Structure 1
Amino acid sequence: MTWGSTASDSFRSQEESGSELEVYFTAYTSFFRKVRGSDEQIDSGKQELSVGEIQQKVKEYNAQINSNLYMMVNKDGFYTGFIKVHFQLARPISLPPPQSLYSTREEEQQGRRMKRRTSFYLPKDTAKHLHISSQTRVREVIEALLNKFTVVDNPAKFALFERAERQSQVYMRKLSDDECPLYLRLCAGPSEKALSLVLKENETGDVNWDAFSFPELCNFLRILQREEEEHVRQIVKRYTLAREKMKQAMARITTPG
């Protein structure tokens, strides 16, 4: 599925009612996921290409595609083309609230209006084509995707990965901010199995808490407290049940048959 101008029609949405807690609570278990040990890095094998090599690769690339998403190259080796980014986000993205028609001038002047945001869970098969140049870097790609759809989340919360399939194995590599995705696309060719680009949460085992706002951090603390209290209740319940069963077994042993 490709995003269009009516992308919100494809989302499951919910609008916050006075607090961001419930939205983030629905996905809190994803905040602390570790990167799977099975995710192995891809050897990017990056090397500089001459102008002639770039022109030849662009020619070979265009000969392999079955759409009009061609790459265009200049005599100086500068080229443009399309990349397709797949979205694999476990947490909701946030859009700005609609302008309220009922807020009073006094509330606006005093800055007391409640800040509300609309959050969406993206479908797993969401993807977007983006037209970029050979000089467009990873961080610019992420920012362009977020700006295009007015996502208000901090771009530092997201990372771009390259994914490859080799001999029934899937390999993932997190791209650094200064890498150029179109160069990777050109070198790998148009095959999605050889290389596909995936936008995911920026998780490396440790969460970058500095990327979150103060209200979000407060909500996370509440979430942790809820999770801790629930965990304690489950442990107490389990041990209480085990204790009762032991007492019942002891009573049957000591009671004459």
Structure 2
Amino acid sequence: MTGSNSMSSGYCSLDEESDDFTFFTAKTSFFRRPHGKQGPKKATKEEEEENPKSLSEEEVKSKIEEYNSKVSENGMNLAEDGTYTGFIKVHLKLRRPVTILSPDGKAPGCSPAADVSDRRTSFYMPSDTVKQLHISSTTTVNEVIQGLLKKYTVQDNPRKFALYRRTHRDGQDLIQKLAGTEHPLFLRLLAGPDLENLSFVLKENETGEVEWHAFSVPELQNFLTILEKEERERVKQVELRYTAYKNKLMEALQEVQNKPG
């Protein structure tokens, strides 16, 4: 599995609140989300398209020819043994910092989020990171996740991450978590090259509860430091907001009191 990446340099600040959130992240929202702002709609079984479990050799050949006719580069290639190779793009939407190993103790294109220890450092992955991977039809979701972590020398346990399929329909994103044994290139072939029909997203593995044992002590300490900093910033923002609100109320009250009669 080979790959190339698109990754912004020097950007490491926290972006605005992401489209959804889970219990423990370095970007946990301390406020309720406005009712008018809704995150991606989770796909239901009724909304998910039924994909065939397998294709015949002729069907695979026909699908590849159809796929290649729609792209100018990075098409799929069919091998003599019936397997095929091609490219997929994975969007990295990680809200927690990741731990990497680097010779100089510095994260690529990003300033460290914590002190370096034993050449390990934690940093936020830029929100616009996209990785293009060259994989086979036999490559599984688990192997894609492991390959992505290896490309970025991420030391975190692969079980912390999951690969999701995302489709855009009726103005909303439908998201479904993929099983570790599924084959992304097969899904790409079925959906065609249009990213509106299918795109892949790497996110934290949301199991409903945080698996604290999967984190090292330095990682946990780093998360606490980041959350404490965010808490101070949030408190300051709230204080400023309510101070401004109070001043406007006082001004309005003063205007009413100064009116004759």
The answer, yes or no, to whether TM exceeds 0.5 is yes
Judging changes above 3 Å, is the alpha-carbon distance between structure 1 residues 38 and 166 closer, same or farther for their aligned structure 2 residues?
closer
Match of residue 91 from structure 1: 96
- Distance in 2 between the 1:124 and 1:221 partners? 21
* SS of structure 2 residue aligned to 1:146: helix
Matched ranges for 1:120-199 at <5 A: 120-199=123-202
CA contact (8 A) 2:166 2:200 kept: yes
Matched ranges for 1:215-226 at <5 A: 215-217=218-220
Aligned length: 208
Work out whether 1:51 is the aligned partner of 2:57: yes
Q: Which runs of 5+ in 2 are unaligned?
A: 14-24, 31-38, 106-115, 239-261
- Distance in 2 between the 1:198 and 1:168 partners? 18
CA contact (8 A) 1:13 1:119 kept: no
Where is the helix percentage greater, Structure 1 or Structure 2? 1
* SS of structure 2 residue aligned to 1:170: strand
Query: Which residue identity is paired with 2:26?
Result: Y
Matched ranges for 1:31-42 at <5 A: 38-41=41-44
Match of residue 210 from structure 1: 213
Q: Scaled by the length of structure 1, what TM-score is found?
A: 0.67
Q: Which runs of 5+ in 1 are unaligned?
A: 15-26, 101-112, 235-257
* SS of structure 2 residue aligned to 1:147: helix
Deviation at 1:194, TM superposition (A): 0.2
* SS of structure 2 residue aligned to 1:65: coil
Percent of pairs with identical residues? 48
Q: Scaled by the length of structure 2, what TM-score is found?
A: 0.66
* SS of structure 2 residue aligned to 1:3: strand
| Bigger-Rg structure (1/2) | 1
Compute the RMSD of aligned alpha carbons.
3.7
Match of residue 108 from structure 1: none
Larger RCO: 1 or 2 (CA < 8 Å, sep 6+): 1
